[in-house]
Amino acid sequence: MSLEIETKHGKVDITNDVIATIAGGAAEENFGIVGMASQHQIRDGLTDILRRENFTKGVIVRQEEDGLHIDMYIIVSFGTKISEVAHNVQERVKYTLEKTLGLSVETVNIYVQGVKVMKEA
């Protein structure tokens, strides 16, 4: 599925993979985020943190009549307040997608898939 935007110069077609990559990049910029996780960790065999090229496994984009709905599967850093990290991710992803795509993002749902303890150097 993709997003079609009509302009006076023609059509712009943006795939859900591109939207997922933008959303995943925006999420990773937040303090307390270790990375993205796969929605189906055991089925995909990905118990590790996803790299940028695999964000589509950790970000689900749904397009409905009222706007975009984003589901994100994240891993947070141990010792951070999970509710605050999730709220910050929601705000940044919504802002980034609305500014980048010019569309309404109705929901950003956060699913915390794990907590990672960072080793001190």
The number of CA neighbours under 13 Å toward the Cβ of 103 is 20
| The total number of structural domains that make up the chain | 1
Question: Which is more confidently placed, 53 or 81?
Answer: 81
Banded model confidence at residue 34, pLDDT cuts 50, 70, 90: confident
Domain for residue 11, yes or no? yes
**Residue 85 predicted with pLDDT over 90:** yes
Smallest CA-to-CA distance from 69 within 100, 32, 31, 109 is with 109
Domain for residue 121, yes or no? no
Instruction: List CB contacts of 119: < 8 A, sequence separation 6 or more.
Output: none
Domain for residue 112, yes or no? yes
Q: Is the pTM of this model over 0.95?
A: no
Range of the domain at 44: 2-116
The number of CA neighbours under 13 Å toward the Cβ of 6 is 0
**Residue 46 predicted with pLDDT over 50:** no
**Residue 51 predicted with pLDDT over 90:** no
Question: Which is more confidently placed, 23 or 54?
Answer: 23
Domain for residue 9, yes or no? yes
